[in-house]
Amino acid sequence: MDMNGSTIIVATRNKGKMREFAHALEFTGKSVESMYDYPDVPEVVEDGETFADNARKKAKTVGDLLGQPVLADDSGLCVDKLSGDPGVYSARYAGEGASDADNNTKLLAELEKLQQGEDTEQPLLSTAQFVCHLALYDPATGQFVESSGSVEGWITSEPAGGGGFGYDPLFYLPPYEKTMAELTIEEKQAISHRGAALRELVDKLKSSTNR
């Protein structure tokens, strides 16, 4: 994969993801661009059945349009007591155009419904995983380089923290006794699904260019 350009284009409009990519890719010395730098690129319909399908679709659609390598991230939250929901529907769990706050409210409502009738009220409602799939697509070759990562935690009924984005305030990490939203960006990067996927992708790119 030819990544010798001076920019890395990420096919996202999520400002929380953008912050994390800019931070994680700072070491490359390249500028990290998002779809806010390419306002004419249309929204890609995320109709895949898996995170991988959606990540590939976003990278390929935007990469073919711009004629440059493009990185895409498809990610979400899989909650065990909800049989893996919201999964690939995480961004629109509370409906099309839902805000993070709307989605968080919906998630707690669904889990609290399941708790009705239980006499013990405890804040940790279910185990859950954040999952991230990355796809880097080069239109010059039609090739993809892909990676993925996940992190295990609990959904808490007591939201906390102002960092991160999305479901982070509800994602409790017992080893830290904190939610993901209470971690610094460095701490989140070190343990998160996206951090793990990014490290795997960078390793793959390094070993392919050193061959």
For residue 155, the tally of other CB atoms under 10 A from its CB is 25
CB of 86 to ligand Y43, least distance (A): 8
Is 168 annotated as a binding-site member?
Answer: yes
My answer on whether omega of the bond before 86 falls inside 30° of 0, hence cis, is: yes
Is 133 annotated as a binding-site member?
Answer: no
User: Of these residues, 37, 47, 73, 74, which one is catalytic?
Assistant: 74
Q: In 3D, which of 191, 170, 188, 150 has the Cα closest to residue 16?
A: 188
Where does residue 88 rank: exposed (0-12), middle (13-18), buried (19+ CB within 10 A)? buried
Is 16 annotated as a binding-site member?
Answer: yes
**Residue 151 touches which of ligand Y43, Mg ion, none (Cβ within 5-8 Å per kind):** none
**Residue 90 touches which of ligand Y43, Mg ion, none (Cβ within 5-8 Å per kind):** ligand Y43
Out of 88, 91, 125, 183, name the contact with Mg ion by CB under 5 A.
Answer: 91
Annotation says 47 is catalytic: no
Q: Which is nearer to ligand Y43, 23 or 29 (CB)?
A: 23
Residue nearest to Mg ion (CB): 91
Is 51 annotated as a binding-site member?
Answer: no
Q: Which is nearer to ligand Y43, 68 or 75 (CB)?
A: 75
Q: In 3D, which of 142, 171, 203, 175 has the Cα closest to residue 76?
A: 171
- Rg (Cα) of the chain, in Å, rounded? 18
Give the catalytic positions in this structure: 74
